[in-house]
Homo-oligomer: A and B are copies of this chain.
């Protein structure tokens, strides 16, 4: 069919890329879709998140006006979706760990699209094996620091408690805490950057930078955004962050640190307009550009 290739749409992948930019071998970036929501409490449906983001992504402009670059030229390969494993939540985390480990070994920059936040643990564990001084920058409305929830320590409400067992975390955008989490923060002497006090001023940015090691994994629960622009999530806390605030912080990190991967989690497409999936797709594309194309 080679002679008729131009009569077809590009294959369904992130950003709608044709070869060679979507080939696994040459791609610098690998998109890892994980349609799993096994420990979600209220509205289920984050399993539909990865596909919604990928479906929205071909309608992005591939040229980044801000960076003045065509980001996709770094090569972006989209893997098939990871198979849900329903035996125990930790078994699913292990699948992510195993796949991510292999990708990192092959030198790929992994971008995970969730799916629920508990999966971030698998990718952090895999990165930790390569990056000894890894730290995690968590953008999230919730601290996710419970020790156990609904019968399991691998619930998405516990994910950062588990991550903390591997590396330090910096929390941004938090605006909802349980008493247990507040007490844990007090006890650990941890202090999130709360949503109500965020302004992307230099002081806060420099505090954030100080809190991070040189290799940084960014884990974004999309509910960090204000529900006005991100209602397609499970627990949409009012008073969240704006588009430019999130971009500015990550851009600063990209300039000063080495971003080693990131995830966009918890998109639940049925709960909001399709604008939310488009925002997530654009965020992923912007972050790839920031992480790989910004001059330090």
Give the contacting residue for A86; candidates B12, B39, B182; CB below 8 A: B39
Interface size range of chain A in the complex: 35 or more
A164: interface (CB < 8 Å): no
A81 to B271, CA, bound (A): 23
Query: Interface 1/0s, chain A 158-197, versus B by CB < 8 A?
Result: 0000000000000000011111001000000000001010
Q: Decide if A83 touches B38 in the complex (CB within 8 Å).
A: no
How many copies of this chain?
6
Complexed CA–CA distance, A6 and B271 (Å): 30
Q: A87-B151, A150-B83, A282-B237 are in contact. Are A4 and B102 (CB under 8 A)?
A: yes
- Contacting pair B45 A82 (CB below 8 A): no
Cβ-defined contact, B244 with A83, below 8 A: no
A196-215, CB under 8 A of B: which get 1 and which 0?
A: 10000000000000000000
Select A44's contact among B47, B150, B244, B273, beta carbons within 8 Å: B47
A294 sits at the interface (CB 8 A): no
Chain B residues positioned under 8 Å from A11 (CB to CB)? 80
| Residues from chain B with Cβ under 8 Å of A37 in the complex | 44
Which residues of B are found within 8 Å of A279, using beta-carbon distances?
227, 236, 238
Asked whether any CB of chain B lies closer than 8 Å to the CB of A231, the reply is yes
Listed A/B pairs (24) with beta-carbon separation below 8 Å: A7-B82, A7-B83, A7-B99, A8-B83, A9-B82, A38-B38, A38-B86, A42-B59, A44-B45, A62-B179, A63-B178, A63-B182, A65-B194, A87-B89, A91-B151, A227-B229, A227-B273, A228-B228, A231-B275, A232-B273, A238-B278, A238-B279, A270-B270, A273-B273
User: With A61-B177, A177-B65, A231-B275 as given contacts, are A86 and B83 in contact (CB-CB < 8 Å)?
Assistant: no
Q: Does A144 contact B (CB under 8 A)?
A: no
- Which residue of chain B has the shortest Cβ distance to A47 in the bound complex? B44
Residue of B nearest to A3 (CB): B102
Instruction: Tell whether, in the assembled complex, residue A272 and residue B273 are in contact, meaning their CB atoms are under 8 Å apart.
Output: yes
Give Cα distance in the complex from A220 to B79, angstroms: 34
**Bound complex: CA of A103 vs CA of B177, how far in Å?**
32
Closest CB of chain B to A246's CB: distance in Å?
A: 10
- Which residues on the B side are within 8 Å of A81 (C-beta)? 8-9
Given contacts A12-B12, A37-B44, contact A63 B273 (CB under 8 A): no
Interface-central residue, A8, A39, A175, A244, by most chain B CB under 10 Å: A8
The 3 closest A-B pairs by CB, nearest first: A236-B275, A228-B228, A231-B273
Q: Given A79-B1, A80-B9, is A177 in contact with B63 using a C-beta cutoff of 8 Å?
A: yes
Query: Is the C-beta of A88 less than 8 angstroms from some C-beta in chain B?
Result: yes
C-alpha gap A95/B226 in the complex (Å):
38
- The reply to whether the CB of A75 lies closer than 8 angstroms to some CB of chain B is no
